[in-house]
Structure 1
Amino acid sequence: MAPMALALILGWCLVAASRAQQLPRPSLSLHPSQGVSLRDSVTLWCHLPRPAARVELYKEGERTFKMSRDTDKEQDAVEFYLADIKQEDAVKYQCQYRVLEPPGTSEKSDPVALLVTDRSYPPPTISLSPEEHVEMGTNVTIRCWNKPYQGFTFLHKDGHSDPIQHQEPDGGGTATFTLFRVSPADSGTYRCSYRVGGCCLLFSPLGDNVTLEVIPTPAFPGDIGRPRWNLVAAVAGSCAAAIVVILILTLSFLLAAHRRRIQRNESPGAIPRSPKAVQFQVPPGDCEGLTYAELRAVTPGTCTPGPSAAPEPPIIYAEVGTGRPC
């Protein structure tokens, strides 16, 4: 019987575990979510993704639930009311729900922290460097000081529910926060607080505030319309460069053609140009005593050409008269 009972228990645990994995998780929220002080009241809402039979609220550090509520099929949220908040109430909370058909239990919700302010502690001081008005891209330093208690320090910005930075102070109780290369999005009001005690989420009141205003980089008058003129200048420059390239290519082509023509004329196998015939004019004389002298035109050169197949130079005829009338 014992092995059978053990098997049944293990089977039930496996079914319950698989059922818990199949049920969607609930969510938990606080109202108010910030600015809660000791002896105040707060409401915790457990939001249900599906109808449930029972909802339980768990407190961090405790195995059993702190509160539970029976529900009906029409409820999509269950509230848990905490009155007269004490120091030990400043912890994290979770909720879960149970269903009957088929039986199962959901996983616990994500934890939600109840931050409580203890106004018996003095607020920290704060300073800003450089002061207030700074230009974009500047590094800004915010210092918070709480020497008497030296608790973990938090930097808050108005409009944000949670601290934007936190830091452990140095030996003098000063925490230094740096905002690198600020932009207009960093403009706003900043404050500091510090955590007191070691057991709970208990904080000092927010201290005095400092205001940071980031000045956008001024635009120079010549910057107006500059992109359009830059585009025009770029197009004009590209056209001028294209014209210069075309001119260079054209000149290079003409020079190359001229060199080829010169080389072709000076080659050994080229046919030399025939010199123009020269005619010597002699005053008219006696027609019957004409004499023709054969003269050879010789092309100037350093040596006498030998017998070759080269064409004979042209023959030049001169008209010579005897002086007697025709």
Structure 2
Amino acid sequence: MVRGQVYPAPSISVSPSVVVALGGNATISCKSERYQHMTFLLVKGTVSPENVMEKQAEKYEVTFSVSNARSLDGGIYWCCFVSALQEWSHFSVKAYIKIRVQVHLKPSIAVRPKELVPLGESATIHCKDENNRRAKYSLIKEEALDIIQEETGGRKGATFTIDNVTQLNVGIYWCDYKPDSGSLYSHFSERVYLNVTDHGFPKPSIKMVLQEEYPSGVNVTILCEGPENNLTFFLHKSMDLRASQETEPGSNRARFLVQIINLEDAGNYTCQYHKSGNPFVWSVPSNPAQLVVRESIPIIIWANVAAGCLLLVLLVLLLTYIFYRKRRKGKWTLCGCSTAKVTKQPVAVNLEPVAEAVPDEVSYAVLRHCSVKIKPTADQEGISEPCVYASVAK
């Protein structure tokens, strides 16, 4: 196979990682960067018929599966490809696959700094067995070809340091451990992300659609703009991630719709982006844009509540007044007598003059046929009689 090695070596990767749980699965990928339709060979250990798997590529890449992994599946893997003219590529680098029996509880894991690491600075990843046992810890990185680091830790666990961080260090990490007292391993920890900021990326811009104070309960549109298309933007408020959004098709801008719920939504907003090919390398943050929120909506709500209470009180008073008037509906004054309704009864008319008569003059007598107390009868017609004046000539 050494003869005729005219093509560059393909790349090899293992997903999710070179550390595979017993009974788990993994995928080995071999890829040519320039040549299509090649025949790829995956070799485990030394070249022999039983250690070689072969597959034709539809384009640039082929994948080989490791299913229901056994201990025998562990070992060193590498690949190459050959053309139809029997011209071979150089050998890829080696991938070291390890099969582990996992029985212990997974460790905790944390990365510092928690957010973004500027290129060239240091980062640490800390792993710890919750049972505080002395153990050997392994730091594992997604698609890395070998274990990144191994450290022995005591009750406080183990700390892995990555100095002078470069783009080669970015990615997804996790860890496991093996207690000193045995040969069995723990389950994998949770995943953590090591992201970096690259000051070589142009700084994005950010702006509010309308520069004004916003009341609570409305939506605000925030625009983030980058140097090129096909970017993914992240919107932060005071370093806390609020949302992520890809740029609009054929555009270098992303729109964020922020709903203002209370005064806590006010503050400084910034945005960052990464390119589609590398989600772990970010730009520096944009200059901050301030979102100002006023309390107009709560004031209006309290004013409406107060007005509603006042209207309710007035309505109760009005209903009370109408009810009181209905109770007194039948009572009205007739000729100065307080009575409801009168009946037609014989009335005694007193024709005596009120004062001493004067000869040759006309005297008047007022006929008041309202009795002091008159009880209504069942057949009353409800028609009041007017006062009658009679002139008496002597």
TM-score range for the pair, normalised by the shorter chain length? 0.5 to 0.7
Give the alignment of 1:149-228 within 5 angstroms.
150-160=230-240, 162-196=241-275, 198-199=277-278, 201-217=280-296, 219=299, 223=303, 226=306
Deviations 1:247-282 (A, max 9, x none): 8xxxxxxxxxxxxxxxxxxxxxxxxxxxxxxxxxxx
Q: How far does residue 25 in structure 1 lie from its aligned partner after superposition?
A: 1.6
The letter for the 1-side match of 2:122 is S
Q: How far apart are the structure 2 equivalents of 1:225 and 1:170?
A: 47
**TM-score, normalized by length of structure 1?**
0.60
Note the residue ranges of structure 2 that are not aligned, 5 or more in a row. Answer: 1-69, 72-99, 328-394
Total equivalences in the alignment: 228
Of 33, 50, 53 in structure 1, the residue corresponding to residue 114 of structure 2 is: 33
Q: How far does residue 121 in structure 1 lie from its aligned partner after superposition?
A: 0.8
Q: How far apart are the structure 2 equivalents of 1:35 and 1:107?
A: 27
The letter for the 2-side match of 1:45 is H
User: Does the CA contact (< 8 Å) of 1:28 and 1:95 recur in 2?
Assistant: yes
The secondary structure found in structure 2 opposite 1:113 is: strand
User: Does the CA contact (< 8 Å) of 2:175 and 2:189 recur in 1?
Assistant: yes
Deviations 1:135-183 (A, max 9, x none): 11222000011143542111111141x3533333431211011113543
Cα pair distance change 1:96/1:239, threshold 3 Å: farther
The secondary structure found in structure 2 opposite 1:114 is: strand
The secondary structure found in structure 2 opposite 1:64 is: coil
Match of 2:146 in 1: 64
Give the alignment of 1:246-257 within 5 angstroms.
none
Larger Rg: 1
Match of 2:56 in 1: none
The letter for the 1-side match of 2:141 is K
Q: How far apart are the structure 2 equivalents of 1:224 and 1:151?
A: 46
Task: State whether structure 2 residue 226 is matched by structure 1 residue 146.
Answer: yes
Q: How far apart are the structure 2 equivalents of 1:222 and 1:192?
A: 36
The secondary structure found in structure 1 opposite 2:313 is: helix
Which structure carries more strand by proportion?
A: 2
User: Does the CA contact (< 8 Å) of 2:230 and 2:276 recur in 1?
Assistant: no
Match of 1:129 in 2: 209
Cα pair distance change 1:77/1:237, threshold 3 Å: farther
Of 188, 212, 236 in structure 2, the residue corresponding to residue 108 of structure 1 is: 188
Q: How far does residue 29 in structure 1 lie from its aligned partner after superposition?
A: 1.1
Q: How far does residue 85 in structure 1 lie from its aligned partner after superposition?
A: 0.7
Task: State whether structure 2 residue 129 is matched by structure 1 residue 42.
Answer: no
Q: How far does residue 103 in structure 1 lie from its aligned partner after superposition?
A: 4.0
Cα pair distance change 1:220/1:93, threshold 3 Å: closer
The secondary structure found in structure 1 opposite 2:287 is: coil
The letter for the 2-side match of 1:210 is A
Q: How far apart are the structure 2 equivalents of 1:128 and 1:41?
A: 35
The secondary structure found in structure 1 opposite 2:296 is: coil
The secondary structure found in structure 1 opposite 2:200 is: coil
Of 79, 83, 89 in structure 1, the residue corresponding to residue 169 of structure 2 is: 89
Cα pair distance change 1:58/1:237, threshold 3 Å: farther
User: Does the CA contact (< 8 Å) of 1:52 and 1:97 recur in 2?
Assistant: no
Q: How far does residue 97 in structure 1 lie from its aligned partner after superposition?
A: 1.2
Give the alignment of 1:14-33 within 5 angstroms.
17=101, 20=103, 23-33=104-114
Q: Is the deviation greater in 195-204 or in 134-143? A: 195-204
The secondary structure found in structure 2 opposite 1:131 is: coil
Match of 1:254 in 2: none
The secondary structure found in structure 1 opposite 2:190 is: coil
Cα pair distance change 1:236/1:95, threshold 3 Å: same
Cα pair distance change 1:45/1:207, threshold 3 Å: same
Q: How far does residue 78 in structure 1 lie from its aligned partner after superposition?
A: 1.1
Q: How far does residue 107 in structure 1 lie from its aligned partner after superposition?
A: 1.1
Match of 1:78 in 2: 158
Q: Among the aligned pairs, what percent are the same residue? A: 23
Q: How far does residue 52 in structure 1 lie from its aligned partner after superposition?
A: 3.5
Q: How far does residue 192 in structure 1 lie from its aligned partner after superposition?
A: 1.0
Q: How far apart are the structure 2 equivalents of 1:224 and 1:152?
A: 44
Which structure carries more helix by proportion?
A: 1
Match of 1:260 in 2: none
Q: How far apart are the structure 2 equivalents of 1:37 and 1:196?
A: 17
- Calculate the aligned-residue CA RMSD, in Å: 3.5
Cα pair distance change 1:196/1:221, threshold 3 Å: closer
